[in-house]
Amino acid sequence: MWHSQALACKKLSKFQPIQFYNNESGTYELLPFNFDKVSDDRYVITNLVGEYLTIDSKSLQDIVNHELSPTNNLYSKLRSKQFIREPDEAYPIELLALKLRTRFARLANFTNLHIFVVTLRCDHSCPYCQVSRQSEDKASFDMTTEMADKSLAMVFRSPSPAIKIEFQGGEPLLNFEMIKYVVTTAKKLNAVHQRNLAFVIATTLSLITEEILVFCKEHNIVISTSLDGPEDLHNANRPRPNKDSYQRFIDGLQKTRAILGYNQVSALMTTTDKSLPRVKDIIDEYLKLGFKGIFLRPLSPYGFAIKTRKFMSYNTERWLEFYKEGLDYIIQLNKNGIEFSEYYSALVLKKMMTSSDPGYVDLMNPAGIGIAAIVFNYDGNVYASDESRMLAEMGDSTFLLGNVLTNTYEEIILSDKLLDALDESFTLSAPMCSECAFEIYCGAEPVYHHAIHKDFLARKPESEFCKRNMTTFKHLINIMEDDSERKSLFIDWANKC
């Protein structure tokens, strides 16, 4: 009796010998994937949800010709990452669907980031600035309480459980009274709406005071600032009348850290033609000042940057050299025991190596305009993104969605201007994008392509955005394939992002 029960249990065991799982027939079905060459004889294959493998050309031919043997080690990897499935298997399809739903789950809870442009006034005259700044005494370019109230009413119509309000300019501290008004009013409204509410001020720190910082500490406001490198480079990129931009930054940084805390202020740099030969100097400056990472970002073709043609001062190939040199230097710093990250790489790696989307607007599909971020301008105009606002200041109102005084929330969010741009730039149905191995990691960026090509989608072979991203993605993959230590570092960056 006992013996027969034991045999029955063995037959019903959850775990079977490895032979039980062998596919002796060798038949399998291909699931959707794309591929691209990343080096002389290496290809990357990616599926709908961002799983990837690197393989040689012979293996790629064997896979697509259904000639890969079940005894090949690659066979089990392909099955585990849902590139192939065996006859009558349902779980690979179910897993793909689950991972895809996870990727796009953010769409139901739009919009998280709400940018308030409280003034166009500024005390700097940066030649690459994307904003049509105004002099410090032109208060007619300040947001009013009426505009703020109407904007806040729309902010809390968003279904997102987390609301972040970011104050921009110009230099937003030139209208700090409006920042105070928006913060206190938003917190009162949130007593009813019960959202996860956060505030950010984007400032050069040149006008920061103890009074401002005490208010920021009381309301848990974090600071986002700008640092372009060592003193001479920062002053050249961000000129002020007294040529003291860098010193004001340093003084402001010390005050901010002393009152708010060391990690309550982050910095962002912009790469100009003067920056290109000095990537190590720039990184060293960030290290010297105690920052834990840097975002090596290129100039953007919007607003005043278009008028001055500064965004054309170098091409994509030259920026990629700058980026690669900087990334190599940062990797070496980590090998030497210095913890430091490159933030753009970390965003890409998070999309490559995890099931999460970091929520970076430039790498979103559908595009992040309107549904990830939206802008409430000082005059009540509502734009699909910060870049959209900058285009409008140069006379292009393609992405002007409405005005808080004359339009309802529904009219703005469901406007044809927004929906058409999202639809026409959707990469899963776009020529070339839909067949690209890096589509799942990339973004749509209709504002960028409209600014350059006057088309939401543009011709992909001519797109500098595509060229920059594809080269970056391939470079990161090759680094991981060539060096396991570097891959471990990248996994760490992806998980921290």
Residues 66-79 have pLDDT tens digits of 999 999 999 999 99
Residues of the chain with CATH 3.20.20.70: 107-478
Residue 296: helix, strand or coil by DSSP? Answer: coil
Phi/psi at 13 (nearest 5 deg)? -55, 140
Q: What is the 3-state secondary structure (H, E, C) of 134-186?
A: ECCCCHHHECCHHHHHHHHHHHCCCCCCEEEEEEECCCHHHHHHHHHHHHHHH
CATH of domain 107-478: 3.20.20.70
Q: What is the pTM for the complete model shown?
A: 0.89
Residues 334-369 have pLDDT tens digits of 999 999 999 999 999 999 998 888 889 899 999 999
Alpha-carbon span 495 to 354, nearest angstrom? 8
Alpha-carbon span 309 to 376, nearest angstrom? 27
Residues 395-442 have pLDDT tens digits of 899 999 999 999 999 999 999 999 999 999 999 999 899 999 999 999
Q: Which residue has the higher pLDDT, 485 or 139?
A: 485
pLDDT of amino acid 6: 44
**H or E stretch covering 472:** helix 464-482
Residue 402: helix, strand or coil by DSSP? Answer: strand
Residues 212-264 have pLDDT tens digits of 999 999 999 999 999 999 999 999 988 887 888 999 999 999 999 999 999 99
